[in-house]
Amino acid sequence: MSHDRALTRRQFASDNYAGVCPEAWAAMQEANTGHARAYGDDPWTQSAADLIRELFETQCEVFFVFNGTAANSLALASLCQSYHSILCHELAHVETDECGAPEFFSNGTKVLLLPGDNGKVRPEAVEHMVRKRTDIHYPKPRALTLTQATEVGTVYSVDELKAIWAVARKCGLKIHMDGARFANAVASLGCKPREITWEAGVDVLSFGGTKNGIAVGEAVVFFNLELAKEFDYRCKQAGQLCSKMRFLSAPWVGVLRDGVWLKHATHANRMAALLHDELKTVPQVRIMFPRQANSVFAELPKPLIEGLRARGWHFYTFIGEGGARFMCGWDVTEADVCALAADVKELAAKL
């Protein structure tokens, strides 16, 4: 393993590999002046929350936490009692990558898994899961969590979300959205943030900042104000109340000003589209899911995977349904994409 301070090139392993975008960095720098009130009682936190309210064009309650696991599991815990259940897609991050945190923070609320093509929950699957048992022995379904963009890089359309909401409403389910890549979904759909959140029945959103150029932090956005009651205590108890909050919130001001968040997401999506178009011309490569956000999932022959790794490329092969996941961060360039694609083509030609 290399212990270099920085990898020699930008990678496609994860959008978490990328650094901090200049706009977030500048806002941090700006915030680093003098003293400010602690624990969120500062002007930066106020501005960041106001900018989020402006972005979603509605009144909402906003809380800044350190990471996505906390955002998801604390938001879900606020929707459920311990005897309830949370429905999610079987590939959802809350199920596969959070080490049981949603169950832990909700004191045991059971997570029930739904199948669905392309990483998406279907309304019929939701209804089936809710209706299949209604007796006292079954954990009562109370919440549905949807990932937008999904774990396999697809995106729910406005109509798909509304169809799911119709069922959720009928079944008495609250809706949480894991928006670790919410910005990429908005960029992909070309819609207003409100159209895929509160106008589609979302009660609470985990709005991702880290994958979109912020160093650390996600925003938990409650559109259902009632559910936000005492959420500040939940954050504090879970060790998610940042004492020097201005440094968690200022970067949000940096990316929310002048549409920077959308600019970075649009760019990342465009890089993934370019990579997709390059890879699909390689006969030995099978694209696994429609490319709709900032990732490309592809099945590659084993020697090709090994060859790419030997040439220093990092990428995961265990996420979603397996295959190689190539994720484009906000800072990936066309030259980076072309370099990866050239290596894929060269190695494939030798197979």
Ligand X SMILES: Cc1ncc(COP(=O)(O)O)c(C=O)c1O
In the region spanning residues 283 to 322, those forming contacts with ligand X, defined by CB under 6 A, are: none
Q: Where are the alpha helices (DSSP H) in the chain?
A: 22-31, 43-56, 68-77, 93-96, 101-105, 123-131, 158-171, 182-189, 231-237, 246-256, 260-279, 302-310, 334-349
* Binding of residue 178 to ligand X (CB under 6 A): yes
What is the pattern of x (binds ligand X, CB under 6 A) and - over residues 74-113? Answer: -------------------x--------------------
Question: Rounded CA gap, 335 and 47, in Å?
Answer: 37
Range in contact with ligand X (rule: CB under 6 A) among 48-56, 61-69, 134-142, 157-165: 61-69
Question: Rounded CA gap, 340 and 335, in Å?
Answer: 9
Nearest residue (CB) to ligand X, 246 versus 325: 325
104: left (phi over 0), alpha (psi -120 to 50) or beta: alpha
Name 220's bridge partners: 63, 206
* Binding of residue 118 to ligand X (CB under 6 A): no
* Binding of residue 147 to ligand X (CB under 6 A): yes
Q: In this chain, which residue has its C-beta nearest to ligand X? A: 68
What is the pattern of x (binds ligand X, CB under 6 A) and - over residues 204-243? Answer: ------x---------------------------------
Range in contact with ligand X (rule: CB under 6 A) among 48-56, 64-72, 227-235, 243-251: 64-72
Question: Rounded CA gap, 67 and 206, in Å?
Answer: 10
In the set 23, 42, 95, 151, which binds ligand X (CB under 6 A)? 151
Question: Rounded CA gap, 295 and 304, in Å?
Answer: 19
Least gap, CB of 186 to ligand X (angstroms) = 15
CA angle centred on 224, ends 219 and 228, rounded to 5°: 60
* Binding of residue 67 to ligand X (CB under 6 A): yes
Inter-residue contact 75 to 102 (CB < 8 Å): no
Nearest residue (CB) to ligand X, 55 versus 71: 71
Question: Where along the sequence are the contacts to ligand X (CB under 6 A)?
Answer: 67-69, 93, 147, 151, 178, 180, 210
